[in-house]
């Protein structure tokens, strides 16, 4: 799953019109990668905000957010193919499991 992070970072061969679009695309890719690898869409957006991008705009936040939400939707869809998209099985996403209070 970590490979999705790397691959999405490396798709730079598609034609972009200028450097800015390329930069934004990489930022969105990083957000989507973290979102899919850890099942953490908001964390992904914040990751590219904190680590990735030098020039951040509100528009880019929205783009990253959209990208991460599409990613997480796809992830839910693919991981829950076997139960005909019924109730999602949270165990199938990356998670640290449930911390239960020990008495």
Positions that interact with another protein (CB under 8 A): 2-3, 5-6, 15-19, 22, 34, 37-44, 46-47, 49-51, 54-55, 90, 94-103
Minimal distance in Å, beta carbon 48 to another protein?
A: 8
Cα-atom radius of gyration of the chain, to the nearest Å? 16
**Between 50 and 82, CB nearer to another protein:** 50
**Between 49 and 70, CB nearer to another protein:** 49
Which residue reads 């200028």 in tokens?
Answer: 18
- DSSP letters for 23-85: HHHHHHHHHHHHHHHHS-HHHHHHHIIIII-SS--HHHHHHHHHHHHHHHHHHHHHHTGGGTT
Minimal distance in Å, beta carbon 53 to another protein?
A: 11
**Between 87 and 101, CB nearer to another protein:** 101
């Amino acid at each position: 799953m970590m490979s999705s992070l790397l691959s999405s970072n490396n798709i730079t061969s598609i034609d972009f019109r200028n450097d800015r679009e390329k930069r934004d695309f990489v930022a969105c890719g990083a957000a989507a990668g973290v979102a899919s690898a850890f099942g953490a869409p908001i964390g992904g957006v914040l990751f590219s905000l904190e680590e990735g991008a030098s020039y951040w705009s509100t528009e880019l936040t929205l783009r990253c957010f959209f990208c991460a939400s599409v990613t997480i939707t796809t992830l839910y869809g693919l991981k829950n193919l076997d139960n005909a998209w019924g109730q999602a099985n949270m165990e199938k996403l990356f998670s640290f499991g449930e911390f239960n209070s020990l008495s």
